[in-house]
Every structure is written in C-alpha cells, then in structure tokens.
Amino acid sequence: MKIEILGMGCPKCKKLYENVQAVLKESGKQAEVVKVEDVAKITEYAVMTTPALVIDGEVKAAGKVLSVEDIQKLF
C-alpha cells in the first residue's frame, strides 16, 4: 500500500501525516508513506485544497485533516 500526504508542510498536513502514522502503528499494517509537497504533483491529482490523503493513487480526502478513526475506516 502506498499512502501520499499532499500538502506544502502546513500544520494541518503534518497532523494528517501523524494520524496516518498512528493508524499504521495501531493496526500493524505496512505501507509506504510519502509527503508530496510539489505543487505540480499535487495538481496532477486535481486537488485544489490541502491537506489531501491519497491511497494507492486514489484521492480519499482533500481539504481536511482526517481523524485517526476516519483513516481507519479507509484502510
């Protein structure tokens, strides 16, 4: 599984990254987690607001920080 956190490094982006890491640790699942801060790459996903969560190439959420519980539902 590949998880991408799209955003320019703002506090909300960092919180989403932390929440993803927490879910992975709790669940014991393995995933490649990548922070994407390049605007060109972010726009390739047609994301207009960050942070955004992409799992295996599919945008799951944009413009909000998902809670740990919300992320668990996506896995």
- Active centre residues (catalytic): 10, 13
Residue pointed to by tokens 């990254």: 17
Q: Is 47 helix (H, G, I), strand (E, B) or coil?
A: coil
Contacts of 2 (CB under 8 A, 6+ apart): 31, 32, 34, 55, 56, 57
